[in-house]
């Protein structure tokens, strides 16, 4: 299959961690491979007609690597920036392989991506980003005491939470542009990218944090001048009154309208905030919905569409 034509859209698609490893599934390589295969089939449909950058989540995977690292006591546990790089390689490889199987004539590159954050970001003092597996509350609190973790409720269980500073810049931005211009499908900023700070001498340092992948995707999409940002997850749309008998999907809205609503900061909140920021900055559209509906989302037939020129509707 040849690369898309010059008049194709540039799409940044952010693939949620829960789309790669669904809640309740074991952290097993075969399970992740099967989920990636399904996601790649959908993404291949997007890449057939458009230029595509894929960002992926890594919450369950980086949590697993952190546990494995701690289990080997002869060396200190590896820091989260290094573990984040490992997940970029692991998940990026799986996406590369399955996309290549679906698009035999296209080139796919998974790029280790560093993302600059502010060393003084208040997120370092207030960890909120869930990583790793679910625990019962008692087990979560025991692990917090034993390992110095911060834990918090997440859905029906508890998880470790870590600092999630705001992404400021994508270090490999120009490399991504070059690859896109050559017709390559790019997997970049996996897990939100590898968090680094840059000191006064211009020296880069990794930091103990993870970056929200939806925010990283929004910053990357804005910097690239993308035509659309798709935030792909395991639910069909943003829902009002989620978790109640009155829950209903939100079809569309402007950034100002949707930003005025309240969404759970532990689930849909970051997606909504990132999507609204991208639309406000770029004047382009963002859509939140299920990975299986990605093509319909791009056509305006599924998901929650955020656009500067439309009025909210549910």
Catalytic residues: 17-18, 129, 213, 271
Check: CB of residue 165 under 8 Å from CB of residue 115: no
Check: CB of residue 96 under 8 Å from CB of residue 150: no
Query: Where do we find the tokens 């990026």?
Result: 92
Q: CB neighbours (10 Å) of residue 11?
A: 22
Which of 12, 14, 20, 97 is closest to 47 using CA atoms?
12
What does the alpha-carbon distance between residue 162 and residue 101 come to, in Å, rounded to a whole number?
36
Positive or negative: CA dihedral 99, 100, 101, 104? positive
Which of 175, 38, 184 is closest to 106 using CA atoms?
184
């Amino acid at each position: 299959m040849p690369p898309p034509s010059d008049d194709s859209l540039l799409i940044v698609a952010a693939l949620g961690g829960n789309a790669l490893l669904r809640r309740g599934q074991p952290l097993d390589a075969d399970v992740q491979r099967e989920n990636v295969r399904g996601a790649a089939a959908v993404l291949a449909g997007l890449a057939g007609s458009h230029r595509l950058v894929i960002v992926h989540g890594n919450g369950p995977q980086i949590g697993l690597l952190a546990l494995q690292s701690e289990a080997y006591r002869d060396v200190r546990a590896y820091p989260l920036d290094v573990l984040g790089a490992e997940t970029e390689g692991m998940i990026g490889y799986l996406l590369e392989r399955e996309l290549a199987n679906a698009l035999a004539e296209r080139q796919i590159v998974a790029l280790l991506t560093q993302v600059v954050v502010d060393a003084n970001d208040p997120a370092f003092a207030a960890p909120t980003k869930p990583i790793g597996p679910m625990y019962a509350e008692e087990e979560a609190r025991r692990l917090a005491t034993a390992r110095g973790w911060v834990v918090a409720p997440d859905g029906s269980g508890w998880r470790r939470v870590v600092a999630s500073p705001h992404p400021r810049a994508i270090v490999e931005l120009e490399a991504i542009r070059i690859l896109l211009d050559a017709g390559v499908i790019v997997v970049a900023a996996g897990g939100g990218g590898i968090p680094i700070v840059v000191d006064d001498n211009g020296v880069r340092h990794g930091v103990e944090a993870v970056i929200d992948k939806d925010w990283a995707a929004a910053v990357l999409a804005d910097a690239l001048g993308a035509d659309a940002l798709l935030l792909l997850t395991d639910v069909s749309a943003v829902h009002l009154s989620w978790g109640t008998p009155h829950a209903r999907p939100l079809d569309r809205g402007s950034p100002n309208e949707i930003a005025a609503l309240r969404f759970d900061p532990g689930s849909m909140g970051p997606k909504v905030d990132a999507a609204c920021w991208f639309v406000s900055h770029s004047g382009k559209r963002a859509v939140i919905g299920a990975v299986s509906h990605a093509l319909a989302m791009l056509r305006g037939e599924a998901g929650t569409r955020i656009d500067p020129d439309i009025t909210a509707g549910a």
